[in-house]
Amino acid sequence: MGLVLVLLAAPLLQVLLVNRSPWGGPDLVALAVVWLAQSRGPVWGCVAGLAGGLIADVTPPADGTVGRTALVLAVTGLLAGGLQGRQLPEGRWREGRPWLVGAVAAALAVLLQAGAAVALGDEPWQAVVAALPWTLGWTVAHGTPVSAVLLRRRRSAAVAEPRVAMRRV
């Protein structure tokens, strides 16, 4: 629930605070989607990506193609959730390292967004390339530790209440 609120507030915080900084800043919407995908799975990640991306697309002063960020973040959320935990054919559960998945998914989100912005002709490539290293660095730097902490908290909660977890399965 908390993460959903973060997702809804992220576009606003981005335009009010983060983008004011002259040294660039993290992409909060992408981070919120990655965190949701990691803690709730690929389907949640995909839906959250579409919703969060769509909000980011229509929050002024964005004036690019509507649905650009939505599509890119839906794909990112799907991949992030899939990398975090997936069922192997023989029925075992395979889990990725939270910090690694967080870092890879955050980087993927930023790169895909930059690529989509150039491919759809919304922004000139010089501007995208100039801003890319900063956004990439900030996003990965913020995504990695938070992913690790979030997943550890969720895991310890699951260990503390094994019965509830069993019943849900």
Partner 1 sequence: MKRTIVLLVLLAGVALVAVDRTLMPLTPLRSAGSTVYGTVQSAIGSVTRSVGGEARLRALEQENARLRALEQENLRLRSDLRSTGGKSQATARLQGVAAHVVGFGQGQKVTIDAGSAAGVVRDVTVFNADGLVGKVTWAGPATASVSLITDPGSSVGARMADSGELGVVTGLPGEGRLRLSLFDPNAPLRVGDEVVTLGSAGGRPYVAGLPIGAVERIESVPGAATRTALVRPAARLSALDLVAVVVPEPGR
| Site residues (vs partner 1, CB under 8 A) | 11-12, 14-16, 19-20, 22, 42-43, 46-47, 49-50, 53-55, 57-63, 65-68, 70-71, 74-75, 78, 120, 123-124, 126-127, 129-131, 135
Q: How far is the CB of 92 from partner 1 (least distance, A)?
A: 19
Q: How far is the CB of 101 from partner 1 (least distance, A)?
A: 18
Toward partner 1, which CB reaches closer, 34 or 148?
Answer: 34
Q: Cα–Cα distances in Å, from 53 out to 76, 101, 126?
A: 11, 20, 23
Toward partner 1, which CB reaches closer, 6 or 54?
Answer: 54
Indicate the DSSP class of residue 83: H
- Residue 90 makes CB contacts below 8 A (sequence gap 6+) with none
Q: How far is the CB of 138 from partner 1 (least distance, A)?
A: 12
Cβ contact 135:110 at 8 Å = yes
How many angstroms separate the CA atoms of 123 and 24, rounded?
17
Q: How far is the CB of 128 from partner 1 (least distance, A)?
A: 8
Cis before 89 (ω within 30): no
Toward partner 1, which CB reaches closer, 63 or 90?
Answer: 63
